[in-house]
Amino acid sequence: MRRFDGLSVLVSGAAGGFGRSIAKAFAAEGAKLLLTDLDDAALAAAAKDLPNTEIATLAGDVSREATAQALVETAIERFDGLDIAINNAGIVHAYKRLSTIDAAEAERVIAIDLMGVFFAMKHQLAAMEARFEREGRGGAIVNVASVAGLKGAPLLSVYAAAKHGVIGLTRSAAAETARRGIRVNAVCPSFARTAMVLGDGHGADSEEEKRIVRGIPMRRLAEVEEVVAAVLFAADPANGFMTGAVLPVDGGLSAI
């Protein structure tokens, strides 16, 4: 039996980066998927890439509460409930000193990376708590935060602030819902081999990559699959006693 056979799993930011790989991994483990992203066309392409999987898609802006509400309603309508939510959607601002960051840029990062997780969890938890009251069946939430949420991140101050906030939400929600059959955990990647980190045109062993890995004890980037493995571990129903955990996947960066 596969780990997530028959379970409904919501993945945000599912059209690319970690999200698309997370969706593939859950599909391979038997999950039913509800995928969301801002880019409708890219979302459709991601869904098409997962044959023989029961999939629903709903494009939307995670910084809007209406999107979070609609996603949970869709999960209930299509799959009779929501078992697992992976709140992965996020953006990062350019490397800048705090004093030079434009207010509108800062507000957009906070809106997506922090408020987006707040809105998502607000509606996900309400649905999971209601089902627990009815059926005694809870659920699991995994928030994709960042090692920038565990320590200072020079030149990424607003992004770091948002990710610190995600960790605060994670721990607080875990404590609130521990007796309601719901587990809430966070995974904190550092730099991984994604377009968000390297940008277009930066292949392996590029100067950009060499610059980034100098501060990582393992002296390399994370592979996307290594981060995905941590997400699935946190979501796994067999991992039933772990809640409020914050899991660094950072090659030792948070250890120094």
Length of the chain as a residue count: 256
Residues of the chain with pLDDT > 70, as a percent, come to 95
pLDDT, averaged across the chain? 94
Query: Would residue 95 show up in a list of annotated catalytic residues for this protein?
Result: no
Model confidence over 137-165: pLDDT tens digits?
999 999 999 999 999 999 999 999 999 99
Q: What does the block give as tokens for 27?
A: 């599909």
Global pTM? 0.95
Least confident of 124-128, 203-207, 225-229: 203-207
Rounded CA gap, 253 and 191, in Å? 10
Exactly one of 26, 79, 159, 191 is catalytic; name it: 159
What local confidence, expressed as pLDDT, does residue 206 receive? 66
According to DSSP, the β-strands at 55-57 and 8-12 are unpaired
Band (32; pLDDT cuts 50, 70, 90): very high
Q: Which residues contact 30 (CB under 8 A, 6 or more apart)?
A: 1, 2, 3, 4, 5, 6, 7
Q: Please check the confidence at residue 94 and state whether its pLDDT lies above 50.
A: yes
